[in-house]
A and B are shown apart, each in its own frame.
Chain A
């Protein structure tokens, strides 16, 4: 036993699932690239800078919501109300533009948190099933929008508000961000290998450490180059990346994240291990609220106005993103990476089929089929593995 190397770095099944999803995304992309070849675009239109930039903008709102939804689902709950919350928070932000930019944006976030806290308390402390609480919320919040806006659509007047959803960051800043990201990756992997040595665990070889730094760096630089061809990285995409990074950190590197997975995986065992279930479930709903507020801002800014039916069915897109990304609706399983990837797959299908002029009805059928197929493959793989 003692001569066996301990702390082996090995490919875990979750990592394997992530690679499979990535592969599925690439297959979808290549398919649309091939299908959009025409005399004007001999290499295809889909992955061109302009369309790709548009695709990512379409992903941003769903992706932000999917990160929040992931945490709620992992804790063994669900939030059906977020589409209505996006509508309500966006509407209120648009109505209060007269108070100035920061107050009206802050208000959208506060509304989101408040609703998250109310719904989370009902679920955690009164034990009302999340499905019921948020199904009720879905209707109630939508009703309040109608009351407040009297059914009217409110345009976004503040230019900076609108630019949050439509503008791009300066190409030069894009490169600065890329440099910061690469430095951060390098620093963290060096720190990590030192820590492993300190704890007497096996360390990765120099070659593998270098690949772990170099491959992401190449991807980042290529991404910035591509985006800069279309005017720079879209601001909503910056928000999505930030939310995804923070979400990934929360779920994998904090006690909060660890406890969420434990609560969803086996609530009895979690409770007996001294975890305060109620507190963490409430926290998950509050975070969902923050992200709903942010999504409301991005969505309202992008559309340029707040309409009473804004955000309708967004909850289903967010849930579908999580599920396509390998999240179990029973709780306890799923990753932020998967959820964002799921959102990207959904947006790619939307965008690609629109480019191909696929009829509306067929788009719905395909998206529904992909959702069911993704879960089917996952179940099949799990049974065999």
Chain B
């Protein structure tokens, strides 16, 4: 086995690369997402791309896929020895590159064959030739050794099979490079096995694959080489057989955490909020537990970090605690030692909970209203009368919050949608502070904002904890959780797999629990 891999690896180095991405750079307003990333791919290779959220994996893939067309990035893409500048997704597809994203792009109402040939249906005199459509689809299915009727509507297929439809579609377009973004995130174990068998087959047929995954055990099972990205830079590429999980984890997280996060002295008081046995089910798949018997408590003045990878149930946990999750939930909630029920956000707010939600554009802000309107929305009844609003009292409170949080805008009457990400995030934070909360949930509070704004948010979090707020912080950026939290719990597949104090919480230990490698003995 190992000799086979070694010959394979030496072969990879001798043949010229199929694809080379050279010193790729990409900036968004205020953020440098990629900073000189280099990456190469051989034919007949599965090359894993790993890194924390925000490391730059998706951005790199989007450049390859033509989502960010040529002049928007720096660097060179060399395919088959010549430089290519993709102007669009279509350009990249024509060059034989197919990306299978986490959110699948199938038309649910159409069947398997119709989806595969969507927009490229075999026609005769302008009319779709059904016979040929299905015979070609059947041929693809045979090649992949799949037992699916090409006439099955996609809506009747499981997520795993839908993923295979996407792969079949890519192959039907003669893709030579297949990019898989977290392909197993929603798959069952048997579906994963099928997927892996197909990927191995494809490799034998010469297809090159970029495999993005958080699940390191899969990376080690399937990939030939692995490249680690961190903070928009390539940390290293190694043959999978010549490295191991601890080394990859160290490459993923290695960062001087102390520099960004000043040690804060939080005076911890009594327990403000406690939950026991919280279970949350998937609203569309009853019985599937997104959060499974989770319990924790937070004290006054304490920052509790919840670490976990995407899909670990972090956000669902907070949504459910706030009364805003649509799935079935159960569990016991206590505020200041008294058992309470939270059935909707209004009840959560009245118990003194504030919730800075993830995805500020979707859940946090009304983008075409003013900063002031957004800030006062949740706490309107405290700031104004119960029915008649007091615009001047609102403006005064908004002005104060705006200068406290250093929101950079012409005035509080600026439209929220025109602000930078960091300032938008501050507006959402201000909205919840104006409800006078006793505890604050923060879900990905610094996602997609620049370093300067991040540090300001960090300083605010410390200040609020010092002022006596109990804070629950969820973030997929590990350094953020470790740098701010007094205590950390780690979720993996909906369960608590680790609990650490600030001094125990090393990046390696937390990441091991988050990837499911290590588990809390219990």
**A contact residues vs B (CB 8 Å cutoff):** 1-2, 6-8, 10, 12-13, 192, 195-196, 198-201, 253-259, 261-262, 265-266, 268-276, 332-333
CB neighbours of B387 from chain A (8 A)? 254-256
CB neighbours of B412 from chain A (8 A)? 7
Partner of B380, one of A2, A201, A255, A332: A255
Known: A10-B413, A255-B381, A332-B368. A274 touches B389 (CB 8 A): no
A12 to B363, CA, bound (A): 25
A256 to B381, CA, bound (A): 11
Known: A6-B399, A276-B346. A268 touches B413 (CB 8 A): no
| Nearest CB of chain A from residue B341's CB, rounded to whole Å | 15
| Nearest CB of chain A from residue B315's CB, rounded to whole Å | 12
Judged by a CB distance under 8 angstroms, whether B348 is at the interface is yes
A13 to B413, CA, bound (A): 10
A352 to B395, CA, bound (A): 44
Mark each residue of chain B from 311 to 329: 1 if its CB lies under 8 Å from any CB of chain A, else 0: 0000000000010100000
Known: A12-B413, A274-B345. A7 touches B399 (CB 8 A): yes
CB neighbours of A273 from chain B (8 A)? 345, 377-378, 431
Judged by a CB distance under 8 angstroms, whether B355 is at the interface is yes
Judged by a CB distance under 8 angstroms, whether B295 is at the interface is no
B392 touches A192 (CB 8 A): yes
CB neighbours of A268 from chain B (8 A)? 362-363
State which residues 112-158 of B face A: CB under 8 Å: none
A39 to B61, CA, bound (A): 76
Known: A7-B399, A10-B413. A255 touches B369 (CB 8 A): no
CB neighbours of B355 from chain A (8 A)? 272
Mark each residue of chain B from 338 to 365: 1 if its CB lies under 8 Å from any CB of chain A, else 0: 0000001110110000010100001111
A201 touches B403 (CB 8 A): no
CB neighbours of B378 from chain A (8 A)? 273-274
Judged by a CB distance under 8 angstroms, whether B411 is at the interface is yes
Closest-by-CB residue of B relative to A1 is B403
A200 to B398, CA, bound (A): 12
CB neighbours of B369 from chain A (8 A)? 261-262, 265, 332
CB neighbours of A332 from chain B (8 A)? 366, 368-369
B392 touches A266 (CB 8 A): no
A276 touches B366 (CB 8 A): no
List 28 A–B pairs whose Cβ atoms lie within 8 Å, in order of A's numbering: A1-B406, A6-B399, A6-B403, A7-B392, A8-B411, A13-B415, A199-B392, A200-B396, A201-B392, A201-B395, A253-B391, A254-B387, A254-B388, A255-B388, A258-B373, A258-B380, A265-B367, A265-B369, A266-B366, A268-B362, A268-B363, A269-B365, A270-B366, A272-B345, A272-B355, A272-B364, A274-B344, A276-B344
CB neighbours of B186 from chain A (8 A)? none
Query: Which are the 8 A-B pairs with shortest beta-carbon distances?
Result: A265-B366, A199-B396, A273-B378, A274-B346, A274-B349, A266-B366, A274-B345, A195-B392
Closest-by-CB residue of A relative to B384 is A255
CB neighbours of A262 from chain B (8 A)? 366, 369, 373, 377
State which residues 397-421 of B face A: CB under 8 Å: 399, 403, 406, 411-413, 415
Partner of B368, one of A198, A255, A265, A275: A265
CB neighbours of A8 from chain B (8 A)? 411, 413
Partner of B396, one of A13, A201, A256, A258: A201
Judged by a CB distance under 8 angstroms, whether B393 is at the interface is yes
Partner of A199, one of B366, B368, B393: B393
A255 touches B389 (CB 8 A): yes
CB neighbours of B384 from chain A (8 A)? 255
Closest-by-CB residue of A relative to B431 is A273
Closest-by-CB residue of A relative to B322 is A272
A301 to B490, CA, bound (A): 71
| Nearest CB of chain A from residue B208's CB, rounded to whole Å | 40
CB neighbours of B344 from chain A (8 A)? 274, 276
| Nearest CB of chain B from residue A52's CB, rounded to whole Å | 35
CB neighbours of B391 from chain A (8 A)? 253
A41 to B322, CA, bound (A): 69
A255 to B384, CA, bound (A): 8
A271 to B403, CA, bound (A): 27
CB neighbours of A269 from chain B (8 A)? 362-366, 377
| Nearest CB of chain A from residue B324's CB, rounded to whole Å | 6
Closest-by-CB residue of B relative to A5 is B411
| Nearest CB of chain A from residue B325's CB, rounded to whole Å | 11
| Nearest CB of chain B from residue A330's CB, rounded to whole Å | 10
CB neighbours of A2 from chain B (8 A)? 403
| Nearest CB of chain A from residue B408's CB, rounded to whole Å | 10
Closest-by-CB residue of B relative to A196 is B392
Closest-by-CB residue of B relative to A263 is B366
CB neighbours of A192 from chain B (8 A)? 392
CB neighbours of B368 from chain A (8 A)? 265, 332-333
B377 touches A270 (CB 8 A): yes
CB neighbours of B377 from chain A (8 A)? 258, 262, 269-270, 273, 275
CB neighbours of B345 from chain A (8 A)? 271-274
A53 to B283, CA, bound (A): 59
A258 to B391, CA, bound (A): 11
- Beyond contacts A199-B392, A261-B369: 11 other A-B pairs, Cβ-Cβ < 8 A, are A195-B390, A257-B389, A262-B377, A268-B363, A269-B364, A272-B324, A273-B378, A274-B345, A274-B349, A275-B346, A275-B377
CB neighbours of A200 from chain B (8 A)? 396
A7 touches B363 (CB 8 A): no
State which residues 15-60 of B face A: CB under 8 Å: none
CB neighbours of A274 from chain B (8 A)? 344-346, 348-349, 378
A163 to B393, CA, bound (A): 45
Judged by a CB distance under 8 angstroms, whether B221 is at the interface is no
A7 to B391, CA, bound (A): 11
Partner of A266, one of B322, B367, B385, B388: B367
A8 to B412, CA, bound (A): 9
Known: A199-B392, A262-B377, A272-B357. A10 touches B411 (CB 8 A): yes
| Nearest CB of chain B from residue A119's CB, rounded to whole Å | 24
Judged by a CB distance under 8 angstroms, whether B247 is at the interface is no
CB neighbours of A261 from chain B (8 A)? 366, 369, 373
CB neighbours of A265 from chain B (8 A)? 366-369
A261 to B345, CA, bound (A): 19
CB neighbours of A275 from chain B (8 A)? 346, 377
CB neighbours of A199 from chain B (8 A)? 392-393, 395-396
Closest-by-CB residue of B relative to A256 is B387
CB neighbours of A276 from chain B (8 A)? 344, 346
A253 to B388, CA, bound (A): 6
A294 to B521, CA, bound (A): 70
CB neighbours of B367 from chain A (8 A)? 265-266
A128 to B344, CA, bound (A): 21
CB neighbours of B388 from chain A (8 A)? 253-255
| Nearest CB of chain A from residue B418's CB, rounded to whole Å | 11
CB neighbours of B373 from chain A (8 A)? 258, 261-262
Closest-by-CB residue of A relative to B381 is A255
| Nearest CB of chain B from residue A282's CB, rounded to whole Å | 16
A332 to B374, CA, bound (A): 13
B395 touches A271 (CB 8 A): no
A274 to B379, CA, bound (A): 9
| Nearest CB of chain A from residue B201's CB, rounded to whole Å | 42
A259 to B380, CA, bound (A): 10
A253 to B392, CA, bound (A): 11
| Nearest CB of chain B from residue A325's CB, rounded to whole Å | 17
| Nearest CB of chain B from residue A283's CB, rounded to whole Å | 12
| Nearest CB of chain A from residue B451's CB, rounded to whole Å | 22
CB neighbours of B348 from chain A (8 A)? 274
Known: A266-B365, A266-B367, A268-B362. A7 touches B389 (CB 8 A): no
A7 touches B396 (CB 8 A): yes
